[in-house]
């Protein structure tokens, strides 16, 4: 009977923001504007890092790839969220739910790894400036980016399959804004303990360890910055690194809270809030943080704008 019910389950229902019917138009308009800002803002960063001759350095190479990753990462969830709000229904086929989780995890882990690579780049630039051109040559940078994208693919496909190998009998409503492990494990039939452990282990290896590596890199960077004799040199170094750290803490902080909290302390409302933060808010803040705190990016952007706008 259990196998029969699991076999005939063809879709889930994402409840999303159905508990806020009066805010439907406001939420749709807000998320649409945010998505357009993500596409335009990160698209501009990609364009200027590829075309501006002064930005042809490893740091901006990684930034351009990170912006492209942000667009892909957000596009996994936000278009469907907009569709669900507009249509006032959250039906998602079983296979589509699995595909969404698979891409969400693959791209999310790629983002974690790429942020760690960007931290290493800053570490080499500040702590080993004489060896920087040798260590961070173009071939190495390309290999690091490719490794960030593909390293976690087999593991995340395995984790996704492990979650969807559970029996989902009868109840198919997910109290979330997109398909994710936590709401799926809540409605699964049978013992989900091993799957919960798998999600926590996955988070530890691909989120916590990169985060710790980033912290170690920046601790060494800060120590070296404090040794600089020039005040202007310290200011420039801190400005470059602080923008990266802001993105790191926003993304890793919200994601870690969602995936490492014990099940007993989880709530649907808080999970939705944090999910919005690490999948939507962080990507829209990324181009603002990197452009407003980076003089080279500001100069490159001014060259793109009409003279009347600049004046």
The confidence score (pLDDT) of residue 83 equals: 93
Rounded CA separation 48/60 (Å): 9
Buried b (16+ CB within 10 A) or exposed e, 150-174: eebeebbeebbeebbebebbeebeb
Q: In this predicted model, which residue has the larger pLDDT, 183 or 271?
A: 183
- The total domain count for the chain is 1
The CATH code of the domain that includes 166 is 1.20.1070.10
- What are the angstrom distances between the C-alpha of 59 and each of 30, 137, 243, 254, 298? 32, 11, 12, 25, 15
Instruction: Check residue 167 and give left, alpha or beta (phi > 0: left; psi -120 to 50: alpha).
Output: beta
Residues 253-301 have pLDDT tens digits of: 877 777 777 665 567 777 888 888 888 888 888 888 877 667 778 888 7
Give the range among 36-40, 129-133, 171-175, 238-242 with minimum mean pLDDT.
238-242
pLDDT grade for 6, boundaries at 50, 70 and 90: very low
E-assigned strand segments in the chain: 11-14, 91-93, 173-174
The whole domain housing 237 covers 2-310
Supply the pLDDT for residue 22. Answer: 87
* Average pLDDT rounded to a whole number, residues 126-153: 93
pLDDT at position 142: 96
Distance spanning both ends of the chain, measured CA to CA: 72
pLDDT in tens, 7-28: 456 889 998 888 888 888 999 9
**pLDDT at 1 > cutoff 80:** no
Tell me how far apart the alpha carbons of residues 122 and 237 are, in angstroms, rounded to a whole number.
Answer: 9
- 59 Cβ contact partners less than 8 Å away, ≥ 6 residues apart: 118, 121, 122, 125, 240
Q: How confident is the model at residue 216 (pLDDT cuts 50, 70, 90)?
A: very high
pLDDT at 3: 45
pLDDT-based confidence at residue 190 (cuts at 50, 70, 90): confident
**Three-state secondary structure call for residue 141:** helix
């Amino acid at each position: 009977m259990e196998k029969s019910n699991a076999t005939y389950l063809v879709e889930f229902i994402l409840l999303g923001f159905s508990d806020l019917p009066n805010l439907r138009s406001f939420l749709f308009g807000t998320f649409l504007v945010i998505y357009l800002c993500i596409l335009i803002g990160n698209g501009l960063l990609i364009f200027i890092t590829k075309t501006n001759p002064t930005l042809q350095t490893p740091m901006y190479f990684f930034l351009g790839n990170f912006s492209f990753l942000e667009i892909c990462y957000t596009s996994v969830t936000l278009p469907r969220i907009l569709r669900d709000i507009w249509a006032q229904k959250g039906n998602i086929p079983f296979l589509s739910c699995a595909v969404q989780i698979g891409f969400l995890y693959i791209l999310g882990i790629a983002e974690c790894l790429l942020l760690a690579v960007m931290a290493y780049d800053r570490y080499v630039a500040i702590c080993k400036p004489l060896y920087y051109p040798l260590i961070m040559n173009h071939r190495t940078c390309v290999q690091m980016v490719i490794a960030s994208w593909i390293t976690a693919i087999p593991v995340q496909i395995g984790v996704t399959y492990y979650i969807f190998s559970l029996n989902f009998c009868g109840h198919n409503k997910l109290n979330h804004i997109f398909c994710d492990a936590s709401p799926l494990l809540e409605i699964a039939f049978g013992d989900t303990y091993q799957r919960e452990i798998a999600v926590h282990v996955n988070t530890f290896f691909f989120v916590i360890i990169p985060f710790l590596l980033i912290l170690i890199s920046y601790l060494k960077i800060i120590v070296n910055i404090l040794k600089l004799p020039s005040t202007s040199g310290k200011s420039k170094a801190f400005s470059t690194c602080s923008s990266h750290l802001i993105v790191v803490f926003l993304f890793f902080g919200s994601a870690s809270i969602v995936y490492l909290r014990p099940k007993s302390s989880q709530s649907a409302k808080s999970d939705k809030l944090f999910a919005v933060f690490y999948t939507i808010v962080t990507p829209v803040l990324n181009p603002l943080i990197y452009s407003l705190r980076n003089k080279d990016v500001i100069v490159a952007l001014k060259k793109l704008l009409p003279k009347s706008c600049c004046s």
